Chains A and B, each alone.
Chain A
Amino acid sequence: QSALTQPRSVSGSPGQSVTISCTGTSSDVGGYNYVSWYQQHPGKAPKLMIYDVSKRPSGVPDRFSGSKSGNTASLTISGLQAEDEADYYCSSYAGTYLFGGGTKLTVL
């Protein structure tokens, strides 16, 4: 199974919204509601931000939201803040676990 497809980079100014896409197939993203998103700052471990496509763990700001349409999932970050600058990875359950290649978010 191939990795999920994410844009290499996205950017936005403070206060703006950005959306990161994650494209898979009907065997992974499209076939299960087990899409999750992770934030990773340089040199740090990944942190769970979204699970089950659109649910937020306790402590994650509601500026972070997730959705899915067909074989593509999306992470939207609204009201961008400087501390949101990080790498973001999507993941989907597909019998095993697939990750996207990661998207670097730059806050301008």
Chain B
Amino acid sequence: EVQLVESGGGLIQPGGSLRLSCAASGFTVNTNYMSWVRQAPGKGLEWVSIIYSGGSTYYADSVKGRFTISRDNSKNTLYLQMNSLRAEDTAVYYCARVAYYESSGYLRHDFDIWGQGTMVTVSS
């Protein structure tokens, strides 16, 4: 079964650090484009970061310089290292796979597989 399972969320003080994990099954993380998307309580979705199959990484301006996306191929797991956390980072964090056209392998620019989410609360 194709699925993503996040873990690592919790309550953290402002200025603290947290690492989120996203374990994949049914497909290989390092041959796909993978993203993190977050949702603040009662708010909409916000794209956070992406890692390309080739290893390039990109971030939303709101987290640039504080968050780092990475992967461990041996564990087939995606990570999000979050440093210098702020109250406005409080959200459910989802990992998601960027879809691709099966016939060509080209990127489709939508998210076809989502994890269940992990809650991060930044508060003193």
Contact = CB atoms under 8 A, between A and B. Distances in A.
A32 B94 contact: no
Chain B binding surface SS class: strand
Nearest to B108: A51
Contact of B112 (A34, A57, A91): A57
Contacts of B110: 34, 36, 48, 51-52, 91
A89 B45 contact: yes
Contacts of B112: 48, 51, 57
Interface string B96-124: 00010000000011111011110000000
Nearest to A34: B109
A32 B109 CA distance: 10
Interface string A17-45: 00000000000000010101010000001
Report the interface size class on chain B.
Answer: 20 to 34
Contacts of A45: 94, 114-117
Contact of A47 (B58, B108, B114, B115): B114
Contacts of A3: 44, 46
A97 B44 CA distance: 13
A102 B109 CA distance: 19
B44 A100 contact: yes
B35 interface: yes
A13 to B, nearest CB: 26
A46 interface: yes
A98 B99 contact: no
B27 interface: no
A69 interface: no
Counting from the closest, the 9 A-B pairs by CB-CB distance are A36-B110, A93-B109, A34-B109, A97-B47, A45-B114, A51-B110, A99-B45, A102-B44, A101-B44
Given A36-B110, A99-B37, 8 more contacts: A3-B44, A38-B111, A46-B45, A96-B47, A99-B45, A100-B44, A101-B43, A102-B44
22 contacts: A3-B44, A3-B46, A45-B114, A45-B115, A45-B117, A46-B94, A48-B110, A48-B112, A51-B110, A57-B112, A93-B109, A96-B50, A96-B58, A96-B60, A97-B37, A97-B50, A99-B45, A99-B46, A99-B47, A101-B43, A101-B44, A102-B43
